[in-house]
Structure 1
């Protein structure tokens, strides 16, 4: 018969993974309590969450959702859920790893928007800006192109000898 604490932990873990399509598996061994606390706080600020559980429980919870990460779940492992900003959460993990001489937490792999990805992809994702920054850049690029397009249309209208606009008539 299963240990009641493990059964409860598994149920809570499955509940936490419900509806999550982006997460990272990390090695957290070697972090002090203070570093782990700071990492958790930084992750929460980016909409992430660090869950430390036994590898067996993590494996069962993930396989129950048709996600097989057996090859990554060796040694001390934690799972980092990224609910709002996958790039921001990956950046927090990368920055925390650069912030100490051991490179911990070390990313082992993960899943981004439902697709299993290797460490290199997660590191590349971490090099991007936050979701808000990327959206702002996109808006800037689009507005610049629209402004250029309006300028071309106005020049073409003038070339054809078009009439005055409302601002010119005033």
Structure 2
């Protein structure tokens, strides 16, 4: 990859890290183009799922001040950059991984806080923004004073989500260790992985030499 192309890719990744509400790191070894396309389609509206190069991603993360992925960038890597509701994006990734075990969720970052794979799963168990809004509407109908209290609460969606996740983790005790990624950490993507990344990809999977 030419130096100017690498610089552009790093700049694009850095911008994605800075502009996203959250990001979830995954390994997609063994997934087909059809499966990756299905995941992208399901995430659309909440997140952009991009196949990335490990070395460039490491540089971009450091540039953006993200340390959550240090030491985890190995194998065919793709990141879900979340622009919408992080809870809904986590649910989508969790459910897809259950149906397609070859997708490995390795960790994430939410509002600057590093998340383990187990914490990403706990995030998926929280109530979505739509559910919270529905409860707010119900509170308005049932009790004006309660509605006023809810409106007075912090309005930052990211802050509410982080607080809820922290409370859930504390209530349930230490997070269960994430399932280990495949021991084969060869950087090249499998034969059936995308050869030419779709338009939204930053770069093809795997690390560069």
Query: Shared topology, TM-score over 0.5?
Result: yes
Distance of 1:140 and 1:25 partners within structure 2: 36
Moved over 6 A (4+): none
In structure 1, runs of 5+ residues without a counterpart are 149-170
2:19 match: secondary structure = coil
Distance of 2:2 and 2:61 partners within structure 1: 18
Distance of 2:119 and 2:142 partners within structure 1: 30
Asked if 1:123 is matched to 2:121, the reply is: yes
Q: RMSD of the alignment, in Å?
A: 2.2
**TM-score normalised to structure 2 length:** 0.62
Distance of 2:139 and 2:118 partners within structure 1: 28
User: Which entry has the higher C-alpha Rg, 1 or 2?
Assistant: 1
Higher helix proportion? 1
In structure 2, runs of 5+ residues without a counterpart are 147-209
Give a deviation string over 1:117-156, Cα, whole Å, max 9, x none: 11221101112343212321343356435599xxxxxxxx
Cα distance, 1:61 vs structure 2: 0.4
Equivalent pairs counted in the alignment come to 145
- Residues 122 and 136 (structure 1), Cα distance of their counterparts in 2 relative to 1, 3 Å cut: same
Give a deviation string over 1:1-21, Cα, whole Å, max 9, x none: 963332222122223223224
Asked if 1:104 is matched to 2:102, the reply is: yes
Distance of 1:138 and 1:106 partners within structure 2: 35
Highest RCO, 1 vs 2 (Cα 8 Å, sep ≥ 6) = 2
**TM-score normalised to structure 1 length:** 0.75
